[in-house]
Structure 1
């Protein structure tokens, strides 16, 4: 059974509040330790990407399904640039930017990225633990 846990809009200056809310809800849903930290870090990276690259705001949904915690982050930005899938590996050298999607892939299960001219939606699950 699917159970909605959190649904929130966000923008620049509200990511810290959202991150705290996600951490509280995720802990209530049973995530703890490294799994909780990794999930919250992935949420932070993806929401930050939405603000910086996806039009300045977005929408987050958090739900529990089949014993797992899921997150969906959607924005209405211009979409990911052509060739973005070629960047599946870690960013080169000491680049400060370009780590968000890569990090989310490393920290979460079953990540799905759908992007086009009307925006980007990233859906992922917490690592089971």
Structure 2
């Protein structure tokens, strides 16, 4: 599914429906949808205003892949950062996703960024 600025609410609804059909429920469903929202918002904000989302089930887990075609993460960026300061309103997306989901993988370069993670099925 492709998404763009102004379409994230629709994307969240579609992901929530699909994830519920796949067996995510309660806080696991909420965490997965929040992670999708955060990474999709990053794609819109930093990746050229749009992106692509793919969902699939494998080995009892729901997987998500979000891709953008932006400039990629800055040189020297590492994903092992501490949580953002309490008053910081930015910089939480990847940290939250790492906290809420399993198997977060980030591949980034000058042609874009792909973030993949798995939802925790109850």
Quickly name the TM-score band, shorter chain normalised.
Answer: over 0.9
| Runs of 4+ more than 6 Å apart | none
The answer on 1:63 being equivalent to 2:34 is no
- The Cα shift of 1:20 comes to 0.2
**3-state SS in 1 of match to 2:12:** helix
Q: TM-score, normalised by structure 1?
A: 0.91
- The count of corresponding residues between Structure 1 and Structure 2 is 122
Task: Please list every run of 5 or more consecutive structure 1 residues that lacks an aligned counterpart in the other structure.
Answer: 1-7
**3-state SS in 2 of match to 1:26:** helix
Q: TM-score, normalised by structure 2?
A: 0.96
When the two chains are superposed, the root-mean-square deviation of aligned CA atoms in Å is 1.0
Once the two structures are superposed, residues 7-41 of structure 1 have per-residue CA deviations (whole angstroms, 9 ceiling, x without a partner) of x0000011100110000000010100000000000
- The Cα shift of 1:88 comes to 1.9
User: In 1, distance between residues paired with 2:111 and 2:9?
Assistant: 26
Structure having the higher strand fraction is 1
Decide which of 82, 104, 119 is 1:111's aligned counterpart: 104
- Residues 1:48 and 1:86: Cα distance change in structure 2 (over 3 Å): closer
